[in-house]
Homo-oligomer: A and B are copies of this chain.
Amino acid sequence: MGVREEQKEKRREEILTAGLNLFIRKGYAATKISDIAERVGMSVGLLFHYFESKEKLYEALIALGISGPMSVIAPTDMEPLEFFERTAEQIFHYIQTDPFVAQMFVLMSQAFYNEAVPPSIKELLMGFDIYTPTTLLIQKGQADGTIREGDPYALAIAYWCAIQGIAEQLALNPDVPCPESDWIVDMIRRKA
């Protein structure tokens, strides 16, 4: 790969990083292409040389998120409670380690819930249902006595929403202390 292609790739990444950061702080609609261009230090025209539209740039980020950070959520054959412990731990670890990943989490959940993101992005996110598999896992955990009683779906909501809320807070305020993943798990763990 020549110097030129390297440069191009680097530039693309700079745009993505700047875009991610601005999108999560201001939202898709309020983020101006000129904001991103300025942050990267390039002209607006040039940015369109790298991404054909604001929407495509956003799409590229979401695609990155789907293939990368979100894949930690894939349920395995672990014991139910262990899955929740591991997942929370892993997510919190990433969030503290890698600001890009932290921000990516926020972007994904914003994109998921915000009705203003373009339909093409909604499509990408289709089939990103973490609740169905997790609810099943919770039921299993209740059966084997490791997870507390209660509506399994509601327990899943509590778990994921807590993680999401914390991820958002930390991504936007990197200087606040990170809660421990155990605390989260204690919401759903059966007491001895």
Q: Which residue of B lies closest to A180 (CB)?
A: B150
Complex formed: what's the CA distance from A168 to B155 in Å?
Answer: 16
A187: contacting residue among B153, B155, B172, B187, CB under 8 A: B187
Query: Interface majority SS on A: helix, strand, loop or mixed?
Result: helix
**Could you tell me the distance in whole angstroms from the C-beta of A143 to the nearest C-beta in chain B?**
19
Complex formed: what's the CA distance from A116 to B150 in Å?
Answer: 39
Q: Given contacts A161-B168, A162-B161, A165-B166, are A30 and B116 in contact (CB under 8 A)? A: yes
Complex formed: what's the CA distance from A166 to B158 in Å?
Answer: 6
- Which stretch, A20-28, A56-64, A73-81, touches the partner chain B? A20-28
**A184→B183 contact, CB < 8 A:** no
Interface centre among A165, A168, A188, A191 (most CB of B within 10 A): A165
Q: Mark A148-168, 1 if CB is under 8 A from B, else 0.
A: 101101110110111111101
**A113→B29 contact, CB < 8 A:** no
A161: contacting residue among B26, B166, B188, CB under 8 A: B166
Complex formed: what's the CA distance from A169 to B153 in Å?
Answer: 13
Residue A119 lies at the interface, judged by CB distance under 8 Å to chain B: no
**A165→B155 contact, CB < 8 A:** no
Query: Within 8 Å CB of A115, what residues of B?
Result: 25-26, 30
Query: Within 8 Å CB of A155, what residues of B?
Result: 179, 183
Residue A114 lies at the interface, judged by CB distance under 8 Å to chain B: yes
A177: contacting residue among B26, B151, B187, CB under 8 A: B151
**Could you tell me the distance in whole angstroms from the C-beta of A24 to the nearest C-beta in chain B?**
9
Apart from the given pairs A161-B162, A164-B165, 4 other A-B contacts in the complex at a CB distance below 8 Å: A27-B114, A161-B166, A165-B168, A186-B186
Chain A to chain B: the 9 pairs with minimum beta-carbon distance, closest first? A165-B165, A30-B116, A161-B165, A29-B30, A162-B162, A158-B179, A26-B116, A154-B177, A29-B29
